[in-house]
């Protein structure tokens, strides 16, 4: 049995038609009791494209999806692509003000949303460009009825490789979300590279079954769905990650291909049912989002009995760009603390603050030149110019170094981003939410070690004179303003925050004591 290799396509729009002809009635997506074949997926995406065009949308318009993972998301994603329309998925766990910010920035003309997540603010006068709101994953079948009322003919819209395929939002040091525009070429070229690199972890065989459990609002969630469709394999779409469901899918559905963050893998491995679950169909597990501590890796190797491959990438690179292969995870492998080496076609440079390329072993900002590098940030030329230079090199915001053998080591985050259970959290977002509390004079937010999540959010606060604000007060205040996963898990109080001579808060100094004696600090 041979793995599926590189396909003769240049855009993702061509993928569904190619699969329909090549694979026909083979099941592409399973969501609860819905089973969609590759042929039906092609027809459904044509119908959605024609429905969007009939609604008055045109090429390069934006629409949004707000909901948990579902087969309808992937149908909407590819249907919009066929019409040249760009989907901007929104994390369903975000707080209402955060959702409104993304809707306003993207100027989404249609919002496809789960009914229980719908809020009045999404259709008020503050979003004048919003044409309509369409329910998805709904019991009354409104989305299916709308889709099936459209023509299944292929829409007559020209799509080029450099057209934007999807717009994934990522925050930054200011806390303001930015829409990373990822093109068809980004995905098609990176998948072609990945299909010939990374060993068994990057291959798709005809009887493989993928699990899509990571949030589709993240590049990892959307990309793994695209990769599975490219690989021509069946995918089980899980609304969200739940260890009960994952073990059931492995045991009952034969799932053997998935991408999860270490916190999720730890939860599965420590579930009592793991001891009686047959994991033998799994050849290798790909993980990312945060490192796996050596002790946890040993535990996972024993439970799953397969190889592990770490992938390093970011929203702006569309996919994994650096991999640590399964064989480099075994024993006392000297490269275990690295992220691995860049994939073929990917170049890395470590640059100093003046832009100078640094020698091996010297820490600086990681810069990437890759076929996966984004087109830019939606309607944000200033942020785009800071991230991408004239030659296409992307400044990642991560600090690290390359060793003499070309392995990448991450030593810190220039952007101070916290990765908690695979969720990217920026201190500025949390600090902005807390600063308004009447009892807070100053606040700094850092990531501290967590056995379960890899990192978790800690707020360090200086009270205003006379204030007796408590940690519980701060958490409750933040919970009303930001998503629950961003709310600090703990709060410490200090008389003063450490500052530089220029008056800048030294977040690194605050973070350092919590990471003392840790194997791998990022």
Between CA 243 and CA 231 the distance in angstroms is 25
Between CA 165 and CA 60 the distance in angstroms is 10
How high is the pLDDT of residue 7?
95
Is the pLDDT assigned to residue 503 strictly greater than 60? no
Rounded mean pLDDT of 353-367? 92
Confidence of residue 290 (pLDDT cuts 50, 70, 90): low
Rounded mean pLDDT of 436-448? 89
Please give the torsion angle defined by the CA atoms of residues 410, 415, 418 and 423, in that order, rounded to the nearest 10 degrees.
Answer: -100
Q: Beta strands of 124-264 (E only): which ranges?
A: 132-136, 164-170, 178-183, 209-212, 234-237, 257-260
Confidence of residue 413 (pLDDT cuts 50, 70, 90): low
The answer to whether the CB of 77 falls within 8 A of the CB of 104 is no
Rounded mean pLDDT of 180-207? 91
Residue bearing tokens 């396909």: 7
CATH hierarchy code of domain 10-159? 3.40.50.12780
How high is the pLDDT of residue 353?
83
**φ, ψ of residue 50 in degrees (nearest 5):** -65, -35
pLDDT digits 0-9 by tens, 96-130: 999 999 999 999 999 999 999 999 888 877 788 99
Rounded mean pLDDT of 331-342? 85
Q: What is the pTM of this model?
A: 0.84
pLDDT digits 0-9 by tens, 71-88: 999 999 999 999 999 999
The answer to whether the CB of 89 falls within 8 A of the CB of 83 is no
Pairing of strands 376-377, 178-183: antiparallel
How high is the pLDDT of residue 291?
64
How high is the pLDDT of residue 332?
78
Rounded mean pLDDT of 61-66? 98
Domain limits of the chain? 10-159, 341-413, 418-515
Mean pLDDT of the chain: 90
Pairing of strands 257-260, 341-342: unpaired
Give me 198's structure tokens: 């990374």
Confidence of residue 227 (pLDDT cuts 50, 70, 90): very high
Report the range of poorest mean pLDDT among 12-16, 35-39, 283-287, 423-427.
423-427
Same fold, 10-159 and 341-413: no
Please give the torsion angle defined by the CA atoms of residues 90, 94, 98 and 101, in that order, rounded to the nearest 10 degrees.
Answer: 10
CATH architecture of the domain with residue range 341-413 = Roll (2.30)
Rounded mean pLDDT of 318-342? 88
Between CA 113 and CA 100 the distance in angstroms is 13
Confidence of residue 207 (pLDDT cuts 50, 70, 90): very high
Query: DSSP per residue over 265-289, as a string?
Result: HHHHHTSGGGGG---TT--EEEE-S
| CA 182 from centroid of its chain's CA atoms | 13
Rounded mean pLDDT of 406-431? 79
Between CA 89 and CA 105 the distance in angstroms is 13
Q: Which residue has the higher pLDDT, 15 or 283?
A: 15
Q: Which residue has the higher pLDDT, 176 or 366?
A: 366
Query: DSSP per residue over 437-495, as a string?
Result: STTEEEEEEEEEEETTTEEEEEEEEEEPTT----HHHHHHHHHTTS-GGGS-SEEEE-S
**Assigned fold of 418-515:** GMP Synthetase; Chain A, domain 3 (3.30.300)
How high is the pLDDT of residue 12?
98
pLDDT digits 0-9 by tens, 146-175: 999 999 999 999 999 999 999 999 865 456
The answer to whether the CB of 220 falls within 8 A of the CB of 187 is no
């Amino acid at each position: 049995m041979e793995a599926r290799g590189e396909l003769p396509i240049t855009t993702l729009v061509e993928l569904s038609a190619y699969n329909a002809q090549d694979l026909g009635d083979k099941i592409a997506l399973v969501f609860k009791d819905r089973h969609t074949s590759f042929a039906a997926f092609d027809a459904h995406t044509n119908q959605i494209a024609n429905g969007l065009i009939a609604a008055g949308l045109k090429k390069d318009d934006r629409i949004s999806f707000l909901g948990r993972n579902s087969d309808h998301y992937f149908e909407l994603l590819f249907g919009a692509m066929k019409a040249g329309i760009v989907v901007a998925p929104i994390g369903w766990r975000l707080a209402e003000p955060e959702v409104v910010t993304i809707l306003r920035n993207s100027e989404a003309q249609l919002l496809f949303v789960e009914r229980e997540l719908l809020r009045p603010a999404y259709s008020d006068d503050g979003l004048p460009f919003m044409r309509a709101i369409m329910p998805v994953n709904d019991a009354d079948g409104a989305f299916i009825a709308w889709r099936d009322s459209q023509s299944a003919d292929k829409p007559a819209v020209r799509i080029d490789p450099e057209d934007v395929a999807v717009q994934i939002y990522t925050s930054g040091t200011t806390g303001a979300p930015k829409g990373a525009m990822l093109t068809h070429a980004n995905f098609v070229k990176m998948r072609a590279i990945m299909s010939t690199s990374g060993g068994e972890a990057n291959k798709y065989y005809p009887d493989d079954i993928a699990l899509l459990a990571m949030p589709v609002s993240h590049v990892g969630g959307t990309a793994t769905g695209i990769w599975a469709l490219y690989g021509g394999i069946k995918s089980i779409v899980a609304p969200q990650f739940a260890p009960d469901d994952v073990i059931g899918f492995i045991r009952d559905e034969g799932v053997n291909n998935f991408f999860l963050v270490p916190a999720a893998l730890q939860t599965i491995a420590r579930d009592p049912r793991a001891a009686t679950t047959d994991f033998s169909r799994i050849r290798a597990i790909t993980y990312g989002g945060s490192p796996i501590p050596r002790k946890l890796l040993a535990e996972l190797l024993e439970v799953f009995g397969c190889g592990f491959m770490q992938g390093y990438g970011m929203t702006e690179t569309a996919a994994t760009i650096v991999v640590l292969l399964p064989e480099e995870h075994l024993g006392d492998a000297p490269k275990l603390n690295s992220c691995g080496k860049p994939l073929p076609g990917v170049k890395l440079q470590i640059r100093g603050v003046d832009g100078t390329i640094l020698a091996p072993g010297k820490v600086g900002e990681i810069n990437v030149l890759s076929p996966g590098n984004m087109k830019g940030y939606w309607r944000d030329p200033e942020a785009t110019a800071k991230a991408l230079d004239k030659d296409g090199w992307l400044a990642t915001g991560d600090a690290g170094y390359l060793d003499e053998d070309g392995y990448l080591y991450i030593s810190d985050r220039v952007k101070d981003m916290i990765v908690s259970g695979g969720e990217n959290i920026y201190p500025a977002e949390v600090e902005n939410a807390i600063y308004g509390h009447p009892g807070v004079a100053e606040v700094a937010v850092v990531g501290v070690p967590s056995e379960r999540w890899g990192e978790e959010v800690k707020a360090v606060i200086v009270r205003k004179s006379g204030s007796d604000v408590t940690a519980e007060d701060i958490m409750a205040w933040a919970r009303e303003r930001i998503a629950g996963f961003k709310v600090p898990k703990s709060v410490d109080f200090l008389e003063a925050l450490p500052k530089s001579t220029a008056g800048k808060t030294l977040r690194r100094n605050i973070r350092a004591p919590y990471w003392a004696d840790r194997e791998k600090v990022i």
